[in-house]
């Protein structure tokens, strides 16, 4: 479509895992109050952005999905895609009339608990602001992003953040030390609303469990030795007993920790497995559970408001 024209901006959008995820209460508005330690991981989508000639008769923002994208057929390119919603929201908030086209190279699986769509959405907001010369502050982008979904604001941190509310209130943390992180994605996804519904809480009802601030303290001391908790594992395992079997088998391999991310269906493994299985476990798990295994690491964003992930300061 663009021949050899290079994109004006090409950015990487990492995915996330939840190192712990406590659900505290179901709110009267139907959302769940949560407390979670979010961490970015090096499995990334790429998004290319072009400015197009002004033309009032054409839509302000358009997108396409690259042919090499994972799950290409299932990715909408209409106004329901969070990338287009982000570009449109940016135009509405700032009055910018630049026409922007995005080509999405998808590598992060969907319905995986990895925040793939949310990372793309945050990246599109950042890109629109960069193309316009950074007229909006990062605080404004964070505020606007909360209206598009619960875990989009997080991506404006440096990659480690304690998130509360419905997930949109972020307390950025100094980046956690990088650690090996394997993502194991079974062939089925989990629907976030269905998993939350499975908690079966009534409006106003609390869910008891560990104090999240105590959990946060343990993780800041040592990611390898901290207690891993995800309150969405029980409802996800009820819906998908085979996911529990996958988690339980991974937990026998000697990693520092094994847990489901977000509302699933990805299970992540922190650290390295026992020496005896190191060269065989990925192929065995992939074949037994029809799973994709991604060997990744924690990643971080440079400490510069004008730079995005995987950019050199």
User: At 138, which helix (H) or strand (E)?
Assistant: helix 138-145
How far apart CA 264 and CA 266 sit, in angstroms, is 5
149 is a site residue for ligand C5P (CB under 6 A): yes
Q: Is 272 helix (H, G, I), strand (E, B) or coil?
A: coil
How far apart CA 255 and CA 236 sit, in angstroms, is 22
DSSP symbol at 72: G
**Which range in 14-22, 139-147, 190-198, 244-252 contacts ligand C5P by CB under 6 A?**
190-198
For residues 19 to 58, the per-residue mask of contacts with ligand C5P, x marking binding by CB under 6 A and - elsewhere, is: ------------xx-x------------------------
Active site residue 16: yes
Which residue in 16, 26, 106, 185 is the catalytic one?
Answer: 16
Minimal distance in Å, beta carbon 17 to ligand C5P? 15
How far apart CA 68 and CA 263 sit, in angstroms, is 26
- List the one residue out of 256, 283, 288, 284 whose CA is nearest residue 269: 256
**Which range in 65-73, 145-153, 214-222, 249-257 contacts ligand C5P by CB under 6 A?**
145-153
282 is a site residue for ligand C5P (CB under 6 A): no
How far apart CA 264 and CA 192 sit, in angstroms, is 8
Residue 102 or residue 148: which is nearer to ligand C5P going by CB? 148
Among 25, 93, 130, 166, binds ligand C5P (CB under 6 A): 166
For β-strands 99-105 and 61-65, DSSP reports them as parallel
204 is a site residue for ligand C5P (CB under 6 A): no
Q: Structure tokens of 144?
A: 């606007």
Among 67, 95, 133, 193, binds ligand C5P (CB under 6 A): 193
Sign of CA dihedral 135, 137, 141, 144: negative
Residue 30 or residue 59: which is nearer to ligand C5P going by CB? 30
List contacts with ligand C5P (CB under 6 A).
Answer: 31-32, 34, 149-151, 166-167, 192-193, 196
């Amino acid at each position: 479509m663009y021949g050899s024209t290079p994109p004006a901006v090409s950015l990487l959008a990492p995915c996330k895992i939840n190192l712990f995820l406590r659900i505290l209460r179901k709110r009267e508005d139907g959302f769940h109050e949560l407390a979670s330690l979010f961490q970015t991981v090096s499995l990334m989508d790429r998004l290319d952005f072009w400015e197009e000639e002004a033309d009032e008769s054409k839509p302000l923002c358009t997108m396409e999905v690259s042919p090499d994208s994972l799950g290409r057929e299932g990715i909408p390119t209409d106004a329901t895609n969070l990338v287009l919603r982000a570009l449109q929201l940016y135009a509405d908030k700032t009055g910018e009339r630049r026409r922007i086209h995005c080509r999405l190279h998808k590598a992060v699986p969907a319905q995986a608990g990895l925040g793939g769509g949310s990372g793309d959405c945050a990246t599109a907001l950042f890109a629109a602001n960069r193309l316009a010369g950074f007229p909006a502050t990062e605080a404004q982008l964070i505020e606007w992003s909360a209206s598009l979904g619960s875990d989009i604001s997080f991506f404006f941190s440096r990659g480690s953040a304690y998130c509360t509310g419905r997930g949109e209130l972020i307390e950025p943390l100094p980046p956690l030390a990088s650690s090996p992180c394997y993502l194991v994605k079974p062939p089925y996804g989990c629907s976030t609303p269905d998993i939350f519904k499975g908690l079966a809480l009534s409006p106003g009802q609390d869910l008891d469990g560990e104090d999240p601030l105590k959990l946060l303290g343990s993780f800041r001391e040592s990611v390898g030795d901290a207690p891993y908790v995800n309150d969405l594992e029980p409802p996800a395992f009820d819906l998908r007993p085979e996911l529990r079997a996958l988690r339980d088998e991974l937990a026998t391999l000697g990693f520092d920790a094994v847990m489901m991310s977000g509302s699933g269906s990805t299970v992540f493994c922190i650290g390295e497995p026992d020496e005896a299985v190191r060269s065989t476990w990925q192929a065995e798990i992939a074949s037994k559970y029809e799973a994709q295994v991604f060997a990744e690491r924690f990643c971080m964003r440079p400490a510069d408001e004008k730079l995005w992930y995987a950019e050199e300061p």
